Amino acid sequence: MWKLLALLIMVMSCWTSMVEAEYFKYKDPKQPMNVRIKDLMKRMTLEEKIGQMTQIDKSVASNEVMKKYFIGSVLSIPLPISYPADEASPKAWIDMVNDYQKGSLSTRLGIPMIYGIDAVHGHNDVYKATIFPHNVGLGVTRQIGAATALEVRATGIRYAFAPCIAVCRDPRWGRCYESYSEDPKIVKLMTEIIPGLQGDIPAGSRKGVPFVGGQTKIAACAKHYLGDGGTHEGIDQGNTIIDAKGLFSIHMPAYYDSIIKGVATIMTSYSSWNGVKMHTNRYLVTDFLKNTLKFRGFVISDFQGLDRITTPIHANYTYSIIASMNAGIDMFMIGFNYTEFIDGLTYLVKKQFIPMSRVDDAVQRILRVKFTMGLFENPLADYSMVKYLGSQEHRNLAREAVRKTLVLLKNGKTTNKPLLPLPKKASKILVAGSHADNLGYQCGGWTIGWQGVSGNNITAGTTILSAVKKAVDPRTHVIYNENPSGDFVKSNKFDYAIVVVGELPYAETFGNSVNLTIPEPGPSTIKNVCGSVKCVVVLITGRPVVVQPYVETIDALVAAWLPGTEGQGVTDALFGDYGFTGKLARTWFKSVDQLPMNVGDSHYDPLYPFGFGLLTKA
């Protein structure tokens, strides 16, 4: 009897020890975050830590790769190779993300990965998502952030490489449409998109601590740190030549605000400051961002940013790893060749070229964001949020955003004879121009692909032509001719014409432009139509472009920027259902010879000044 009792006590004691051994503080959401981070850090090997610092592209990811290399993050670059399939459904995205996550969860410590994507004007790589206007024209920012977060979560993704808080000082820059304004005060205001994406940071929170609030929110990424919008002659990935006072007064204010609002991550820029690559700038990344501003989230490189530290690209990868690690970058957007990075960094740490303390700083920051996001408690996505992708509520919000971003630059050849609003009841009207019936052109770059696409079968949406047909009286005869001759226009006796022309889609370096002209047949269409009939020209562009040669010919001129999928926002204002209220957040130059030219410059002589915009009543 006593022997049996002793045996039973021993078995229970062993079982209790096993249960206690299975208790990990880092898995306990009741534990303080710093306790969880510390507990997990002490359990991690070097290989597991370096895995956490590695972000790979979907095209090279798999359940097995996640497990073998302890990969901390996966991304989808904006190319078809990085999507689950063409026109993939939200469920297909969720299933893909969850498969990679299950690989991460099956590792020794079960650290969940974080999946990231470029959601820069809505969930722009996903079929049938709501595409909002690009930043160049935005106004209702917080609501757009909240809607974007829901659509990203609808596909199982929880991290967006947005917002871009660049201050574009030269429209020749190919990314100018990703910038809210040339004015740092406006860009600073637009950081309101961050609480839209992440949720409102709780009262009393410590400055710099990342915050992501609940299952309807995602981690944001303020980019590109620092000065990417101020490069010499607007050259993408170029050199920002400016003194410290200028850098900190123009390009830094929005980062102060982002950090106060709890932004989870910050992305370094491809560009340089006075010849020093931002990916190697220890002063700005570690000394200022981390130590002075107390940023506690993680710093991520831009895509293959390591490779671009050297010229030619990838010329000295060992140097690039050392320089970027010592600068203070925490997570590396490697993309494809991740084993080279992992092997290289492992060797450099083991040989003490990079201190272990630097690795630990990076991993602690990454884990802090993951704990904040609730990834350890809820690592897998379900289908419950699929309904939010492309929802009517979000399309209505996008339509509202479009009409608020429109800027009326001219209305009538004389001020006492305005052309707008246009009458809905007319005998016959003409709609012309390369951009009138092209959803891809209307959305611009970063839409179902990096450089954008042409055509109307790319995603769900409403072209401006379709919107015109919906807006006018059913008895009004709408004629569409993309590039009509002058004789055609004269012979048809139109009541008026709507001409929609602009830039072709582009992104990043491919958008660099020295002349900023509207490509043909845009100018020919304006000449042929507006020379023969009363016309309003609607410009679909990512920035101010050369229009002075055509202004006299045109009766009314509207800057519609890159409005996205909801073309009815344009016709809402054209036909007077809503008034024009938009004001220029960018200076509209007369000639490219004036560039760079920003409000406050001594040589300021614009065609349309910063803050200009004619008003109409609904």
Q: What is the pLDDT of residue 17?
A: 44
What is the DSSP code (8-state) at residue 369?
Answer: H
303 backbone φψ class: left, alpha, beta (φ>0; ψ -120 to 50)? beta
Q: How far is CA 72 from CA 50, 97, 113, 359, in A?
A: 9, 13, 5, 14
pLDDT over 60 at 140, yes or no: no
Angle between helices 356-373 and 33-43 (to 10 degrees): 130
Fold of 392-594: Rossmann fold (3.40.50)
Same fold: 40-388 with 392-594? no
How far is the C-alpha of 570 from the C-alpha of 554, rounded, in Å? 18
Averaged pLDDT for residues 497-526: 98
| DSSP annotation string for 542-593 | SS----HHHHTT-SEEEE-----SBTHHHHHHHTTSS------SS-B-S-GG
Residue pair 217/270 in contact (Cβ under 8 Å)? The answer is: no
What ranges do the domains of the chain cover? 40-388, 392-594
| pLDDT band with cut points at 50, 70 and 90 for residue 124 | very high
Q: What is the pLDDT of residue 142?
A: 76
Averaged pLDDT for residues 389-414: 96
Residue pair 324/277 in contact (Cβ under 8 Å)? The answer is: no
pLDDT over 90 at 6, yes or no: no
Q: Kindly state the percentage of the chain with pLDDT values over 90.
A: 94
pLDDT over 80 at 12, yes or no: no
pLDDT in tens, 317-364: 999 999 999 999 999 999 999 999 999 999 999 999 999 999 999 999
Mean pLDDT, rounded, of the chain: 95
According to CATH, the superfamily of the domain at 40-388 is Glycoside hydrolase, family 3, N-terminal domain (3.20.20.300)
pLDDT in tens, 22-70: 799 999 999 999 999 999 999 999 999 999 999 999 999 999 999 999 9
Residue 403: HSE in the Cβ half-sphere, 13 Å Cα cutoff = 22
Identity (one letter) of the amino acid at 23? Y
Residue that the structure tokens 């770059």 belong to: 445
Q: How many other β-carbons are positioned within 10 Å of the β-carbon of residue 81?
A: 11
Nearest in space to 176 (alpha carbons), one of 215, 231, 217, 220: 231
Give the tokens for residue 544.
């101010």
Nearest in space to 182 (alpha carbons), one of 600, 616, 514, 581: 600
What is the DSSP code (8-state) at residue 96?
Answer: H
| DSSP annotation string for 30-84 | TS-HHHHHHHHHHH--HHHHHHHTEEEEGGG--HHHHHHHT--EEEE-SSGGGSS
User: Residues with catalytic annotation?
Assistant: 302, 508
How far is the C-alpha of 119 from the C-alpha of 583, rounded, in Å? 25
Averaged pLDDT for residues 116-136: 97
Q: What is the pLDDT of residue 21?
A: 52
| pLDDT band with cut points at 50, 70 and 90 for residue 414 | confident
Residue that the structure tokens 């160049």 belong to: 136
Q: What is the pLDDT of residue 276?
A: 98
pLDDT over 60 at 97, yes or no: yes
Highest mean pLDDT among 4-13, 131-140, 267-276: 267-276
pLDDT in tens, 301-318: 999 999 999 999 999 999
pLDDT over 70 at 122, yes or no: yes
| pLDDT band with cut points at 50, 70 and 90 for residue 138 | confident
Surface-to-core class of residue 556, CB atoms within 10 Å of its CB (0-12 exposed, 13-18 middle, 19+ buried): buried
Supply φ then ψ for residue 496, to 5 degrees.
-165, 170
How far is the C-alpha of 260 from the C-alpha of 254, rounded, in Å? 10
Nearest in space to 260 (alpha carbons), one of 229, 296, 284, 288: 296
pLDDT in tens, 181-233: 999 999 999 999 999 999 999 999 999 999 999 899 999 999 999 999 999 99
Residue pair 274/241 in contact (Cβ under 8 Å)? The answer is: yes
Q: How many other β-carbons are positioned within 10 Å of the β-carbon of residue 14?
A: 10
Residue pair 173/227 in contact (Cβ under 8 Å)? The answer is: no
Q: What is the pLDDT of residue 135?
A: 95
Averaged pLDDT for residues 458-487: 97
pTM value surpassing 0.85: yes
Helix (H) or strand (E) holding 478: strand 477-481
Helix (H) or strand (E) holding 573: helix 568-574
Helix (H) or strand (E) holding 529: helix 522-530
Surface-to-core class of residue 8, CB atoms within 10 Å of its CB (0-12 exposed, 13-18 middle, 19+ buried): exposed
Strands in 428-432's sheet, in edge-to-edge order, are 407-411, 556-559, 535-540, 496-502, 428-432, 477-481
pLDDT over 70 at 561, yes or no: yes
| pLDDT band with cut points at 50, 70 and 90 for residue 141 | low
| pLDDT band with cut points at 50, 70 and 90 for residue 18 | very low
Q: What is the pLDDT of residue 609?
A: 97
Give the tokens for residue 14.
């062993």
Supply φ then ψ for residue 226, to 5 degrees.
-145, 145
